Structure 1
């Protein structure tokens, strides 16, 4: 019996209405940019498996480093103990983080990094005797699926059933050239109450919001204003981090750096789950006291798992390497040329790129999920390309090791599909 059939007996997949999508393709192997199903067919992983496997699947260097760690130390409680992999990882990560980031707190995934950031922000003020409980986030944001992360997200398709039980959040529009003055005014009005604990945002790209992009200069203005009111600024770099916007982090393109950063996904190159919440010395110092209650009492069983730490070390080494930096530049150049080539296409409503992220809004009416969206997914899978459209938005976030011919194949098939629907 195939994996697809065996899967149906016990497994419940994420983001899936199983009555509408009963079958899930069995993938048995992955290498470089390719996934392979149980029948031997290969697919280019054009979204790096949800932006994780950015160095390609099973990169030899990643495998080597993780294997060595498995043979030395697999797991140890991080409360009361430390270990070489965690210490080495912290030193390695500081080489690429913005200079103001000084402390690292461990968890397991992107959603938990945001939950931790929110708790840190609220307790940061509490520990100083200040009552600041308001949270501000962008409209149409997405920060994860746990309750805190879900609260600051603004996409009803994910949060609808829980709207009455999440944290209260004030929302401001994503700034543009046209509305930036109004957004600043709206934000200042909220900040002037002196009740805003934190401002959480996806820097430069709102991933789940169909790769909506915004400008660094506008975000800089919001961060400067927030920090003037001692409001903690949280950059959710779970999607944007580790090279996707062309720099190590999207925050590198900002003049005003966030107080807290959330990292996951490409953090470990897709090798093993891990999440990190990093912060400034100023944030940490608010918890450093003679009173036990002022400590940050949050913990995950697999915090600082040595194997995951080894994967992070390898990830940072690769990100800084000539191989990967050359790959990022190749993808950027390819995306920019592709955008120019599709300008005459009438079925392209809007197209944009930043770093290795490419997004194309088709001028067709398609729900975010459903049969029409699934038809697009199945079309590209039949061509040997794994894309995961968000409604009428096609996006590409390929592994940095992708070759020019593989990029060209993706571009050609997207053009062919646009011709097909024209």
Structure 2
């Protein structure tokens, strides 16, 4: 539920502030101070969606519509396909991926998600407003919306955020930087409580959970030889290919298990032949041998020659499904949504608070400077930043730094195409 301008004005008056902050503002500043100036100081109108925001918004809309009973489960994939076709028909240069390969990977991952997503078995609420207050140089009031939220079986309030981005930035220290937005919302909920089924309830931070649903990935779990469950993350479009080596081990494991059981039989047979073995003991060994032979007989049903194994694995990889493999392989694996959870320890929350307040204070100081160009100035764009600038930034057409970066690269490319001094003399017959 998005708030109206009048409602936002009521919140500002109630909180005693003249403006409300959004996470996009501080994340924009943290990404690029010049970008912040262009968007929020100069108030230049953005160039609209790019391919990632287009499909990210679409993915949010589909999964939230399902949870709100606006569409059925099987309609998610059909509506997704309709939107992909609509996107293709638009043929908008601003909505194109950097390469065809990137486009195909991205769309195929989301296609697999909407065909196979495991839905949350709890009542979900979407797009509910949240407020959070921070005290720095000024009183800062954040206002935002949660993708989804629900109560789990332990009475925790789970904040669920959907991500269509890569998982590379969602680990280690980068995870906590990515999680700032949800940490802000968790702090806000702990400050003001949450309306649950018409009742205002309080949730301390230790009863709030932060979780990301990484739509392009899935978690694949399987039992190891040591009896422990191993879970690995894989791109949805090629999760079977991700497991090829493990699948081969599964097939090879059958013959190894048979060999191990045959050794057990040989051991029992030797015991039967020992002079000190009593008839009763021999009978017990014989029964044991019979049971093991039955196990071997059952295992032999799952024996395949190397050519068969290669063919089956190749088919499974191409289809991205285990349906072509024997049941003993299929039953070993579980494929689930790829969730990444963020632990809300006191240390993590306090560190996030300090970073957020520092960013807000920095923006506040610079916004009061007379020379905004100097205040929000930045260093030149490095190659490591170029992907964001070229593919994600909605202000690149207005950015002098990006213009300089492109000109520099063009000069470099032109220069690299020039013949060497020796080549030039040779070309002119002066060598």
Tell me, yes or no, whether TM beats 0.5.
no
- Scaled to the shorter chain, the TM-score interval is under 0.3
Q: Which has the higher contact order (CA 8 A, sep 6+)?
A: 1
Taking structure 2 as the reference length, the TM-score comes to 0.25
Taking structure 1 as the reference length, the TM-score comes to 0.25
Higher Rg: 2
